[in-house]
């Protein structure tokens, strides 16, 4: 089935050690998003790619970077994870903002 | 003021009862409205879109009140499996239809 796949499902990383989360999609959607969601909070948009165009939210820390090498893949790089970065990271896709589809998320723990 | 506001709950409701949530939004230019359901430690999943005329899907009814800028979700004959967090989501044309999320209302159905 066409879907959005996030790997890994759970990630444990050390304080300050760079970590990369991955997302792939078989939907051929042109927009890909990365959200951060902490417990009992709304998902918070970090950035999105509209085709190849990168759009960073104004309040996304510089510690967070993203790459989209092709339509199917998108990566979230956290250069120096802090304890406050522990969260669920959700990847989503859409066709020009419609038909939102989420991956199952990666739960990041920072130790 | 948050762009999308919800009562966080939790709403503790006996099985079989009817429960309703409201959600208010601040941007009068908002055009699309959704209810998402999120189970604990899982990704949000689209429950239903909300149309101007209101819409019903089985035990679930969604209503939109543009004048007062709120949407509602009614669940009839609640089941234990309805226990989840319900997220109100709004999008606005001209922003690439990006989603603005409420923090969710937690619903607990008790036997």
Distance from CA of A17 to the nearest CA of B (A): 24
B31 touches chain A (CB under 8 A): no
Mean local confidence (pLDDT), B17-33: 92
Measured between alpha carbons, how far apart are the two ends of chain B, in Å? 37
Work out whether the CA dihedral B78, B79, B83, B87 comes out positive or negative.
negative
Residue with structure tokens 């998108």?
A: A74
Asked if B45 and A48 come within 8 Å (Cβ–Cβ), the reply is: no
Tens of pLDDT along A76-88? Answer: 999 999 999 999 9
Question: Could you tell me whether strands A10-13 and A106-110 are parallel, antiparallel, or unpaired per DSSP bridges?
Answer: parallel
Task: Tell me which residues of chain B, numbers 47 to 86, contact chain A at a CB-CB cutoff of 8 Å.
Answer: none
Tens of pLDDT along A14-69? Answer: 999 999 999 999 999 999 999 999 988 999 999 999 999 999 998 999 999 999 99
Binned at pLDDT 50, 70 and 90, residue A97 comes out as confident
CA A80, distance to chain mean position in Å, is 16
Asked if A40 and B96 come within 8 Å (Cβ–Cβ), the reply is: no
Asked if B104 and A96 come within 8 Å (Cβ–Cβ), the reply is: no
Tell me what pLDDT residue A40 has: 87
Taking alpha carbons only, the member of B22, B20, B43, B19 closest to residue B33 is B22
Residues of chain A in contact with residue B96, where contact means CB-CB under 8 angstroms, are 31, 48, 50, 55, 96-97
Residues B108 and A105 sit within 8 Å (Cβ to Cβ): no
- φ, ψ of residue B14 to 5 degrees: the values are -70, 145
Q: What pairs with residue B65 in β-bridges?
A: B70
Residues of chain A in contact with residue B31, where contact means CB-CB under 8 angstroms, are none
Question: Could you tell me whether strands A87-95 and A98-102 are parallel, antiparallel, or unpaired per DSSP bridges?
Answer: antiparallel
Tell me what pLDDT residue B30 has: 87
Asked if A105 and B42 come within 8 Å (Cβ–Cβ), the reply is: yes
Q: What pairs with residue A45 in β-bridges?
A: A35
Q: What is the CA radius of gyration of chain A?
A: 13
Tell me what pLDDT residue A65 has: 96
Residues of chain B in contact with residue A43, where contact means CB-CB under 8 angstroms, are 44, 101
Residues B9 and B107 sit within 8 Å (Cβ to Cβ): yes
- φ, ψ of residue B80 to 5 degrees: the values are -55, -35
Please give the C-alpha separations between residue A68 and each of A21, A25, A26, A55, in angstroms, as whole numbers: 12, 12, 14, 12
Residue A75 has pLDDT above 60, yes or no: yes
B108 touches chain A (CB under 8 A): no
Tell me what pLDDT residue B95 has: 57
């Amino acid at each position: 089935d066409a879907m959005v796949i996030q790997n890994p499902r759970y990630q444990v990383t050390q304080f300050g050690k760079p970590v990369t989360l991955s997302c792939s999609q078989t939907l051929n959607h042109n927009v890909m998003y990365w959200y951060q969601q902490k417990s009992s909070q709304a998902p918070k948009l970090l950035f999105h790619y509209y085709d190849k165009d990168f759009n960073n939210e104004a309040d996304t820390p510089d510690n967070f970077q993203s790459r989209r090498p092709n339509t199917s893949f998108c990566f979230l790089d956290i250069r120096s994870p802090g304890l406050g970065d522990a969260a669920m990271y959700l990847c989503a896709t859409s066709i020009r903002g419609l038909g939102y589809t989420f991956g199952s998320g990666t739960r990041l723990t920072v130790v | 003021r948050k762009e999308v506001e919800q009562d966080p709950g939790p709403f503790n409701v006996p099985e079989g009862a009817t429960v309703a949530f409201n959600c208010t939004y601040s941007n009068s230019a908002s055009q699309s409205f959704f209810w998402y359901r999120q189970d604990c430690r899982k990704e949000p999943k689209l429950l239903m879109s909300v149309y101007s005329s209101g819409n019903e899907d089985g035990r679930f009814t969604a209503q939109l009140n543009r004048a007062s800028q709120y949407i509602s979700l009614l669940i009839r004959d609640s089941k234990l499996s309805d226990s989840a967090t319900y997220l109100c989501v709004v999008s606005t044309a001209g922003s690439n239809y990006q989603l603005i999320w409420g923090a969710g209302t937690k619903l607990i159905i008790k036997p």
